[in-house]
Structure formats: structure tokens, C-alpha cells
């Protein structure tokens, strides 16, 4: 009788362990088919190029195709919602960015909560922004710009890629902290032609987008928005040198639907971080203005939560709402 009972208990213990063993086996085998990486922005932009570089690396490393799918619209919320609604199995991933942290407070009618409904997988890197002005503006430093803007309240036009874009919120944070009144001019398309023509006078934009014009003298760079100097423009100070505490840094990452198995997330994180450490991939990311910055899923999750809270405060202080 005791023998039968022991056999029964062993059988039950083995049965209880089966789901965990099945999940572990699935994670070790992952991926067994192609994986979609959905990008919330148009082809050819920074998020798209970064996602394609990483997708090529993951395809080679893991033996299955990582297929990038561009799905722009509604400030990136359409693509994010598609990933949130996807099966949490690691076969649909989101090319996430700082825009997701901004959108969480920018839009009142989102059908999802980005922090709650996505799982952080890996950060690809930081995206430095730079404060640039048209050469006709009589300001050669951030301090001179602030003095000029205060003397010409509401007369300095600030271009951005649209209401709630990172170029906009970076500028909004600057106006709040520097105590200046700039006239925001949002664009649905490229604002650079008007900035180069002097119809707008200042913008907060990616280094990659603006560096050709900085180098040819068509734009004057005053400072970078990050807390530390940029390797691409090492001679430029940071805005925080003139506006203590100021920091606005974009980022690209990979997120998945919540409840995606932890073993799958850990595998993707490890392979992504291996790619960021690879000299060739690292150099290619730097070429498009991305500073590779590996994080664990937990560290990336904290960054997302902190950024969501930060930009929510900025949007509320500036009275900004999505269109």
C-alpha cells in the first residue's frame, strides 16, 4: 500500500512539473518560426533603421527571420496597440521608443496602458538630441539664447515634428525650466526646410538629422539635451550646464506583450545585448545616431516607468494634449 502511495505521489509531482518543463523547453527552442518586429514609424526613419539592424543580427544568431513591419499612424499608438493585442508568445515584438512614454500621458483615449500592457525586453540605445538655431539668431550659447528669448517673448519660433513629438516635449521642458516663452510651430512633415530658411529659429532635433547642416554652418548648435556630452559633438556643452537639472534623452528599445514568458524575454535580452557589444553592429548603430546602451529587462522597465512619469508631468505643466 505504501509503495502504491509513493508511486502515486511521484506521478502527481511529475505531472505538476510538466507545464514548467514545457515552458522551459519552448524557451530553449525559441524561435521556431519567423518573428514580427512592428515599428510605429515610417520606413527609413531612425526607429526603422535601428530595428532592421537589430533584426538582422537576431536572425543570424537565432536561425529564424525577424521581419520588420512598419505600421505608422496616430503617433505610434496603432502599432503599439497591435502588439499589446498580440499573443504573448515572443513572435510579435514592438520597436518601442521614448515616444511610448510620452504618448501614455499625451492621449486620453488609449485602449491600453503601455507600462502595464507591455513587457520590457531590451534597450537598444540612447538617442541624443541637440538644440540648434538659425545662424541669423543673435545667440552663440544657451545663455545668450535665453536672454534673447526673454527679451523677445513669443517672437522666437520653435519648430517640432508635431504636437507631443519628442522634439516638441524636449522644447517644452526647456521653456518651463528656462522660463522662456517660445512660439511652437508644429509640422506634420519635415520642418528642416523652414528652419534652414529662417522662418523658424530654433529646434530640438536628433543629431543625425541636423549634423550635416551643423557641419556646413547652415545651423548653429548650442548644446545637447542629454546629461553628458555627445561623442559625435564632443565640443558642445549640455543644456544642463545652463539650465540645471535639464535632461531630455530619447531611446529605442524592444518590448513585447505582457505575459510573454520570462525565459523568452531573457533570451531576447541576452542576444540583443550581445549584438550591442558586437563591434560591427555597435558601429552601425552609432552611424545612425544611436548610442548603444544595454540594460536588463528590469532596468529597462524602470527607465520606461520613470520616463512615463517624467513626461506626464511635463505635458501637464505645459497643458499639452494629443491631436
Closest by alpha carbon to 66, among 128, 121, 126, 117?
121
Q: Cell numbers at residue 218, please?
A: 547652415
Which pLDDT value is given to residue 74? Answer: 83
pLDDT lower than 50: segments of the chain:
3, 18, 20-23
DSSP string, 77-105: HHHHHHHHHS-SSSSEEEEEEHHHHHHHH
Structural domains in the chain plus CATH codes:
31-126+250-318 (3.40.190.150), 129-241 (3.40.190.10)
Which pLDDT value is given to residue 70? Answer: 96
Which pLDDT value is given to residue 20? Answer: 47
Name the residue with cell 549640455.
238
CA dihedral for 96, 51, 278, 229, sign (positive or negative): negative
Closest by alpha carbon to 81, among 136, 122, 38, 51?
38
| DSSP designation for 74 | G
Cα–Cα distance measured from residue 256 to residue 251, given in angstroms and rounded to the nearest whole number: 16
| Cα separation values, 137 from 32, 202, 205, 212, 289, Å | 57, 9, 17, 19, 26
Name the residue with cell 524636449.
170
Cα–Cα distance measured from residue 37 to residue 69, given in angstroms and rounded to the nearest whole number: 6
Q: Judge whether 249 and 225 are in contact, CB under 8 Å.
A: yes
Which pLDDT value is given to residue 19? Answer: 52
What angle, rounded to 10 degrees, do the helices at 297-318 and 166-178 form? 60
Which pLDDT value is given to residue 235? Answer: 94
What pairing do the DSSP bridges indicate for beta strands 202-206 and 250-257?
unpaired
Q: What is the pTM of this model?
A: 0.87
Residues found in the chain: 323
Amino acid at each position: 500500500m505504501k509503495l502504491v502511495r509513493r508511486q502515486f505521489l511521484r506521478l502527481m509531482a511529475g505531472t505538476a512539473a510538466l507545464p514548467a518543463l514545457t515552458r522551459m523547453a519552448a524557451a530553449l527552442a525559441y524561435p521556431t518560426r519567423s518573428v514580427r518586429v512592428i515599428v510605429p514609424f515610417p520606413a527609413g526613419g531612425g526607429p526603422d533603421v535601428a530595428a532592421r539592424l537589430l533584426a538582422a543580427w537576431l536572425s543570424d544568431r537565432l536561425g529564424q527571420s525577424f521581419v520588420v513591419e512598419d505600421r505608422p499612424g496616430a503617433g505610434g499608438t496603432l502599432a503599439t496597440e497591435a502588439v499589446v493585442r498580440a499573443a504573448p508568445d515572443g513572435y510579435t515584438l514592438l520597436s518601442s521608443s521614448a515616444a511610448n512614454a510620452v504618448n501614455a500621458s499625451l492621449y486620453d483615449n488609449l485602449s491600453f496602458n503601455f507600462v502595464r500592457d507591455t513587457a520590457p525586453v531590451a534597450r537598444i540605445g540612447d538617442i541624443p538630441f541637440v538644440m540648434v538655431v538659425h545662424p541669423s539668431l543673435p545667440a552663440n550659447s544657451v545663455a545668450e539664447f535665453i536672454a534673447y528669448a526673454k527679451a523677445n517673448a513669443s517672437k522666437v519660433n520653435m519648430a517640432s515634428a508635431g504636437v507631443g513629438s519628442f522634439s516638441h516635449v524636449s522644447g517644452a521642458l526647456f521653456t518651463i525650466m528656462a522660463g522662456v516663452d517660445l512660439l511652437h510651430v508644429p509640422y506634420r512633415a519635415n520642418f528642416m526646410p523652414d528652419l534652414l530658411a529662417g522662418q523658424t529659429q530654433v529646434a530640438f532635433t536628433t543629431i543625425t538629422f541636423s549634423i550635416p547642416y551643423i557641419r556646413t554652418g547652415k545651423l548653429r548648435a548650442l548644446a545637447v539635451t542629454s546629461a553628458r556630452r555627445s561623442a559625435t559633438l564632443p565640443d558642445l556643452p549640455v543644456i544642463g550646464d545652463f539650465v540645471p537639472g535639464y535632461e531630455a534623452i530619447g531611446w529605442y528599445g524592444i518590448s513585447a506583450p505582457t505575459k510573454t514568458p520570462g525565459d523568452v524575454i531573457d533570451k531576447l535580452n541576452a542576444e540583443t545585448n550581445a549584438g550591442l557589444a558586437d563591434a560591427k553592429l555597435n558601429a552601425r548603430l552609432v552611424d545612425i545616431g544611436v548610442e548603444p546602451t544595454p540594460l536588463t529587462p528590469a532596468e529597462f522597465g524602470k527607465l520606461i516607468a520613470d520616463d512615463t512619469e517624467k513626461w506626464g508631468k511635463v505635458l501637464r505643466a505645459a497643458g499639452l494634449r494629443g491631436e
